[in-house]
């Protein structure tokens, strides 16, 4: 690190990420990037931060994994709007004593995620801090004018669906934290799911084009995202538990621990699959297109008039599904609860329900 000043460090690190792509008129190296907006499209912009000790631990994530996940989780927000991700801006707060090799590995992970998702890096900043490592990514994407799929469009009669499978990231974190013994293939799949999530850009575009009425990415847990759609749309979601596509590796892991695998599906979080709603004919169209390209799409329920999220259990009971995903500003045990006027009720439980108080997403 002593061999570089701020500008030398930036020049050294950005060699590890893609810098040139469509729409980049001026990229890294000037005061601001100059980007071309695709004709007939609206811009999409989102920012996410990952903080050492809050979102990851050295015992659960290697530097390259931190970089990959920081980029992919941010890009996922564009997927959840049905858009395309184009560019990324990276800000890095580097603690005293950081090793150059770790920063290089982190940027290798960032670069790998950008290449996997067809994204170029167009700027950013590096600063020194006395606190922990902070990686902040801002994604710039686009979507056809008026075509962004919001959380608030679900209507009674719509199908509720989810892409891929859920629960593997939360189970992977539990395995990494407590060292639960698991079969080699199961352990590898769970750990990979936690460390290297893929943003569902292709699925989001298919769902938008097919006519999805709402979308959200599963960052804080399926229970949390379903409740967000319910609240934003002013409807009730009725979910059949038996239909939720829990990853087989999660069922194996939960069986080993004597747990209900739905715990990881509902509250594990960080799967970065998409959950949403669509009219039946639009869902059928999306299902055909997804199957043709190898994307799993599963109907898990329906939209009704009312509010909240109701789950039909395997034995026929109806239960209210509370939004117990991670919340950075939920009160700690013994702390008073101070709510911002007009804000929704806080989750009933913090830590995503899977022993993960050190990780989450704002």
* Residue 36, token pair as written in the block: 């071309």
pLDDT for the residue 19: 84
| pLDDT at site 331 | 54
pLDDT for the residue numbered 359: 41
pLDDT (0 to 100) of residue 330: 57
Q: Alpha-carbon distance 193 to 68, whole Å?
A: 12
Tokens for 274, please give them: 């998409």
Domains, the chain: 6-144 (3.30.1330.10), 151-326+334-353 (3.90.650.10)
Task: Work out whether strand 84-95 and strand 120-129 pair parallel, antiparallel, or are unpaired.
Answer: parallel
Closest CA to 142 of 220, 91, 204: 204
Q: In this structure, what are the phi and psi dihedrals at residue 109, rounded to the nearest 5 degrees? A: -65, -40
What is the C-alpha separation between 177 and 111, in angstroms, rounded?
Answer: 27
CA distance 208 to 80: 9
Q: Which residues of the chain have pLDDT under 70?
A: 1-5, 181, 183, 325-362
Asked if residue 296 lies in contact with residue 222, where contact means CB atoms within 8 angstroms, the answer is no
Contact status, residue 223 vs residue 295, Cβ threshold 8 Å: no
* CB count in 10 Å sphere of residue 305: 10
Q: What was the pLDDT predicted at 212?
A: 98
pLDDT for the residue 1: 56
Is the CB of residue 56 less than 8 Å from the CB of residue 50?
yes
Six-digit token string for 281 = 């004919």
């Amino acid at each position: 690190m002593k061999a570089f000043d701020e500008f030398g460090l930036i020049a050294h690190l950005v060699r590890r990420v893609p810098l040139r792509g469509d729409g980049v008129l001026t990229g890294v190296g000037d005061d601001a990037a100059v980007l071309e907006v695709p004709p007939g499209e609206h811009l999409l912009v989102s920012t996410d931060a990952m903080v050492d000790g809050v979102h990851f631990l050295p015992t659960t994530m290697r530097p390259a994994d931190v970089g990959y996940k920081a980029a992919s989780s941010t890009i996922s927000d564009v997927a959840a709007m049905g858009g395309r991700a184009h560019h990324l801006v990276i800000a890095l707060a580097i603690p005293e004593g950081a090793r150059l090799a770790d920063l290089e590995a982190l940027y290798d992970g960032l670069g790998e995620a950008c290449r996997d998702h067809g994204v170029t890096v167009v700027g950013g900043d590096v600063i020194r801090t006395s606190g922990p490592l902070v990686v902040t990514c801002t994604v710039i994407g686009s979507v056809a004018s008026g075509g962004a799929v919001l959380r608030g469009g679900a209507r009674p009669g719509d199908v509720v669906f989810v892409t891929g499978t859920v629960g593997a990231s939360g189970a992977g974190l539990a395995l990494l934290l407590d060292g639960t013994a698991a079969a080699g293939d199961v352990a590898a799949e769970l750990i990979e799911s936690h460390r290297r999530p893929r943003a569902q850009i292709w699925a989001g575009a298919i769902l938008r084009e097919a006519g999805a009425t709402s979308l959200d990415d599963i960052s804080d847990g399926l229970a949390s995202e379903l409740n967000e759609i319910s609240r934003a749309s002013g409807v009730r979601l009725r979910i059949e538990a038996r239909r939720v596509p829990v990853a087989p590796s999660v069922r194996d892991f939960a069986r080993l621990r004597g747990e209900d695998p739905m715990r990881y599906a509902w509250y594990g979080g960080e799967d970065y699959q998409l959950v949403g709603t669509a009219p039946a004919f639009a869902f059928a169209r999306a299902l055909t297109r997804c199957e043709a390209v190898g994307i799993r799409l599963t109907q898990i329920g329906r939209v009704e008039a009312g509010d909240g999220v109701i789950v039909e259990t395997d034995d026929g009971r109806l239960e209210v599904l509370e939004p117990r995903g991670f919340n950075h500003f939920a009160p700690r045990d013994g702390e008073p609860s101070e709510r911002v006027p007009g804000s929704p009720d806080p989750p009933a439980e913090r830590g995503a329900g899977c022993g993960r108080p050190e990780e989450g997403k704002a």
